Amino acid sequence: MKTLIRQGTIVTAQEEFVGDILVEDEKITAIGQNLSAEADQVVDATGLYVLPGGVDQHVHFSFTYKTARVRGFETSNAAVVGGTTTVIEFVNQEPGKGIAESIKHYEQQEVLGTAMADYSFHGIVFEATDAVFEEIPSLPEAGIPTLKLFMAYKGFPYHCDDEAIFRALKASKGTGVTIMVHAENADVIDVLQKECLSRGQTEPYYHAVSRPPFVEVEATQRAINLAILAEAPLYVVHVSAKEAMEAIRDANTKGYPIYGETCPHYLTLDTENLAKPDFEGAKYVCSPALRSEEHREALWQAVNKGWLNAVSSDHCGFDWKEQKHLGFGDFTSIPNGAPGLENRLGVLWTQGVETGKITRSKLVDLFATTPARVNGIDHCKGHIGLGYDADLVLYNPNHHSKISWQTSLQGVDFNTYEGMEQIGRPEKVFLRGKLVVDEGKYIGEKGQGKFISGKPFGLSYQGV
């Protein structure tokens, strides 16, 4: 099957130019001007931007918070309709099982036959045992070069202390495995939460009060110090505070392989959302908490300068009526996390490109190219180039819409960006050469997604 995509403006992380792309079966086989190949179908992309399919390196299709569990891979078509063709899911370590074994089991039970986007995985440490640390060097053999530990969430089964973080970092040294951390000081949050509750401060807004920026800054700085001590790379997920970003930037500037990402909600939304009446504020309960304009502006500067190198959704499909309401009367029981898988490209384009905060090439870098590299899947994903998977988004910049949960495929009863104007949309999306979105509508099949094996050394220890 040959598809010729003609006269689109092709955007990569380095450049943009008008040209043609030839796709043969699943791969890009030619890029150029006026390609004359015989094709089974010709797509006129005049006036459209052709972007590489997005790589969302921070997705939760299996996260649990107390008794609540997010929507799973049956909603992964939301990624595709939003221009993300590869998702990287954080998989829970199962009791008594190793990391790779837990991931294999999860894939067999919940992903195979269901996934509608291509996918890769990160492990999550639940049981910080010798066996887990001993397993770390062999994770790349299973195509898993990344492992996350939660410094936050005291009392939850996935909380890890400094000993676990440090041992994981030490075990990863020289192996090509990247340790990722959710950096917030769990003990301080616990004290502040209890103080709020004892004063009768139970509403969603107190989620932010009990998680001020410095609980994130302190933990980020600590994780950086532990990584430097262990001589290992570190990736800090969902950075939201200016000073946490600056700590990462400064360590990186000194030559340490310390990196981080942020998320669309930290770039565009405000703490004040948590104060919305009638428990609406619960929709914005995610960790770290939403911040103020000062932090948002610093984050835009950071993504523009490359101080944070990716923008990920941190998608969590908890619904509001049932699941967020588990925390009615006690904000600490509101499931943490916000949906956003479908909106990453639209929000970045509208709030970033259209406002002049970032260029289209920078968007591609943050949305696809660098996350592919960080996770070792850049041999086939995240770029428009010869031999790459034909994951292509034809973005129509002239379409105007309003974001709404009612038109979303995320499968939850609210949208984090409800009512936000969106400029442009993915008009067509190809997943490995197959048309899966047409005229902005998902037309793919259940189970079409395939596992993409990650290679080690996405972050290498250069020069230190």
Residues that bind ligand URP (CB under 6 A): 60, 63, 182, 238, 286-287, 314, 316, 336-337
Size of the site for Zn ion (CB under 5 A): 2
CB atoms within 10 A of CB 229: 11
Minimum CB separation from Zn ion for residue 263, in Å? 9
Q: Which is nearer to ligand URP, 238 or 360 (CB)?
A: 238
118 binds Zn ion (CB under 5 A): no
Contacts with Zn ion in 300-329 (CB under 5 A)? 314
115 neighbors 445 (Cβ within 8 angstroms): no
Question: Which of Zn ion, ligand URP, none does residue 222 bind to, with CB < 5 to 8 Å depending on kind?
Answer: none
182 lies in the site for Zn ion, by CB under 5 A: yes
What radius of gyration do the chain's Cα atoms show? Answer: 21
Rounded to the nearest whole angstrom, what is the least distance from the CB of residue 289 to ligand URP in the complex?
9
User: In the complex, what is the shortest distance from the CB of residue 395 to ligand URP, in angstroms, rounded to a whole number?
Assistant: 27
Q: What is the distance between the alpha carbons of residues 348 and 11, in angstroms, rounded to a whole number?
A: 15
Torsion angle defined by CA atoms of residues 79, 84, 85 and 86, in that order, rounded to the nearest 10 degrees: -90
Q: Which residues of 67-96 are buried (b: 16+ CB within 10 A; e: fewer)?
A: ebbbbbbbbbbbbbbbbbbbbbbbbbbeee
Q: Which of 84, 55, 50, 14 is nearest to 396 (CA)?
A: 50
Instruction: Map residue 421 onto helix, strand or coil.
Output: strand
Residue 353 Cβ, how far from ligand URP at the closest point, in Å? 25
CB of 286 to Zn ion, least distance (A): 8
- Taking contact as CB under 5 A, which single stretch among the options 1-9, 178-186, 319-327, 392-400 is the one that binds Zn ion? 178-186
- Shorter beta-carbon distance to Zn ion: residue 261 or 314: 314
Hey, what are 287's tokens? 């960790």
CB nearer to ligand URP: pick between 93 and 287: 287
Report what 336 binds from Zn ion, ligand URP, none; CB cut-off 5-8 Å by kind: ligand URP
Contacts of 336 (CB under 8 A, 6+ apart): 65, 153, 285, 286, 287, 316
Rounded to the nearest angstrom, the gap between the alpha carbon of residue 154 and the centroid of all alpha carbons in its chain is 23
Nearer to ligand URP, 337 or 376 (CB): 337
Is there a contact between 376 and 457 (Cβ–Cβ < 8 Å)?
Answer: yes
Closer by beta carbon to Zn ion, 81 or else 186: 186
Among candidate residues 269, 261, 425, 400, the one with its CA nearest the CA of residue 342: 425
Which of helix, strand or coil describes residue 281?
helix
Interaction partner, residue 286 (ligand URP, Zn ion, none; CB < 5-8 Å by kind):
ligand URP
Considering the complex, state which of residue 8 and residue 317 has its C-beta at the smaller distance from Zn ion.
317
Helices (DSSP H) in 239-339: which residue ranges?
A: 242-253, 264-268, 293-305
Which of 22/79 has CB closer to Zn ion?
79
- Contacted by 332, from ligand URP, Zn ion, none: CB < 5 to 8 Å by type: none
Shortest Å distance, C-beta 38 to Zn ion: 46
Q: Which is nearest to 372 in space by CA: 363, 383, 361?
A: 383
Q: How far is the CB of 184 from ligand URP (least distance, A)?
A: 9
Residue count (the chain): 464
Residue with Cβ nearer ligand URP (212 or 397): 212
**Minimum distance from residue 126 beta carbon to ligand URP (Å):** 14
Q: Which residues bind Zn ion (CB under 5 A)?
A: 182, 314
